[in-house]
Amino acid sequence: MVASIEDVARRAGVSIATVSRALRGLPDVAAATRDRVMTAAADLNYVASPFAARLASGRTTTVGLVVPFVNRWFFAEVISTVESALRRAGFDLLLYNLGDEEGRARFFDVMPMRKRVDGVLIASLVLEDTEFEALTELSRPVGLLGLERHGFLSARIDDVAAARSAVDHLVAQGHRRIGLIGGDTDDPMAFTPPLHRRDGYRDALRAAGLSADPELEQLGYFTVEGGQEAARRLLGLADRPTALFAESDEMAYGALREIRRAGLRVPEDVAVIGFDDQPLSELMDLSTVRQPVADQALDVTTRLLTLIADAADELPRDPAVVLPTELVVRGSSVTSRP
């Protein structure tokens, strides 16, 4: 019923080897022959069986994308970008969502990507050494998104510097007591931002001659609700902070909500700055640090595909790319905009 390469060969009056060559655009096929093959294939509505091709060639034309969540803005953006880049290159996307701690353990234990991908993309996961090893054992190029490691392709932002720029900005507005709403750095599902953004926060305080205060660092778990609860705790402190830095816009939304609920004004009573610059943030007039998510995803995907295409077993000279972030100052952190 569905045409196979033999049907095409018969119809075009050539061998199956020639059909294969012609359809894949290989050189050394006479133009006239190629035309006949193309026509025959079109007539029969033929597409090659990917599995037969993969078995014969050893190439899978498939990339595995591993994410810890799909339901967060950053990761949804990554999935969307990677999917379209792969599709454009004729690659399939195999999506692996870790979900929870158990799912993560199972994933690295079973390694369901074995024998089915030409390359792997890992989005913003803090990986342990054993997990890096498991990845390495795949003997396939691996691209890291949002983190960096020697010996791997990667695209990321400088989370430390970006966070620091946010807090520097608050300091420049005269704030001396600045709260942090962050992620759990001990979370087994840990992804990379919480560690680095907290470091950037602490760096900025130190540089401003401000002492760190554990009370000022509250967990918001990267959710709106968590951000709101963290803000509630911060606003309840005896010596209330006058500014809050949230490690994600979503947590900042929760903070904005809580501040309003408490009858306080933004930014007069409490200034707020987030991280990401999701589309919603402009609407919320939220100051934030913009990170180029699609750019990072596209960058590492493109380089991974190049590596795969070249069948290179060596990394390029500059495997680690760091993309710039941008401080976006809006009404939540300054009264009169510059």
* Cβ neighbour number for residue 14 with a 10 Å cutoff: 20
- Strand duo 92-97 + 119-123: pairing: unpaired
Only one of the segments 1-9, 132-140, 243-251, 258-266 lies at the binding site for DNA (rule: CB under 7 A); that segment is 1-9
# residues contacting DNA (CB under 7 A): 30
**Which positions from 202 to 241 touch a copy of itself by CB under 8 A, shown as an x/- string?**
---------------------xxx--x-------------
CA distance readout (Å), 173 to 107, 138, 242, 335: 46, 50, 10, 10
- We find the least distance from the C-beta atom of residue 4 to DNA, in angstroms, to be 4
Give residues 111-140 in contact with a copy of itself (rule: CB under 8 A). 112, 114-116, 139
DSSP letter assigned to residue 90: T
CA distance readout (Å), 327 to 24, 165, 169, 250, 291: 47, 7, 9, 17, 9
Residue 33 vs 302, nearer CB to DNA: 33
Say which entry of DNA, a copy of itself, none residue 27 contacts (CB below 5 to 8 A, set by partner kind).
Answer: DNA
Q: Is 264 in the site for a copy of itself (CB under 8 A)?
A: no
Only one of the segments 49-57, 75-83, 148-156, 255-263 lies at the binding site for DNA (rule: CB under 7 A); that segment is 49-57
Only one of the segments 57-65, 174-182, 301-309, 314-322 lies at the binding site for DNA (rule: CB under 7 A); that segment is 57-65
Only one of the segments 16-24, 89-97, 178-186, 308-316 lies at the binding site for a copy of itself (rule: CB under 8 A); that segment is 89-97
Q: Quick check: helix, strand or coil at residue 94?
A: strand
Q: Is 44 in the site for DNA (CB under 7 A)?
A: no
- Strand duo 153-157 + 320-323: pairing: parallel
Determine contact, residues 300/145, Cβ cutoff 8 Å.
yes
Q: Where are the beta strands (DSSP E) in 90-235?
A: 92-97, 119-123, 142-145, 153-157, 178-182, 217-219
- Strand duo 243-246 + 271-273: pairing: parallel
Q: Is 42 in the site for a copy of itself (CB under 8 A)?
A: no
Q: Is 48 in the site for DNA (CB under 7 A)?
A: yes
Out of 35, 39, 43, 57, the only residue in the binding site for DNA (CB under 7 A) is: 57
Residue in the block written with tokens 């950037």:
200
Q: Which of 133, 129, 113 is nearest to 121 (CA)?
A: 113
DSSP 59-74: ---EEEEEES-SSSHH
DSSP 3-state helix, strand, coil percentages of the chain (rounded to 5)?
45, 15, 40
Say which entry of DNA, a copy of itself, none residue 29 contacts (CB below 5 to 8 A, set by partner kind).
Answer: DNA
Say which entry of DNA, a copy of itself, none residue 295 contacts (CB below 5 to 8 A, set by partner kind).
Answer: none
**Which positions from 140 to 179 touch a copy of itself by CB under 8 A, shown as an x/- string?**
----------------------------------------
Q: Quick check: helix, strand or coil at residue 218?
A: strand
Give residues 43-82 in contact with a copy of itself (rule: CB under 8 A). 47-52, 54-55, 60, 69-71, 73, 76-77, 79-80
Q: One-letter amino acid identity for 260?
A: R
Residues that bind DNA (CB under 7 A): 4-6, 13-18, 20-21, 23-24, 27-30, 32-34, 46, 48-49, 52-53, 55-59
Residues that bind a copy of itself (CB under 8 A): 1-2, 47-52, 54-55, 60, 69-71, 73, 76-77, 79-80, 83-84, 87, 92-97, 99, 103, 112, 114-116, 139, 223-225, 228, 254, 257, 279-280, 283-284
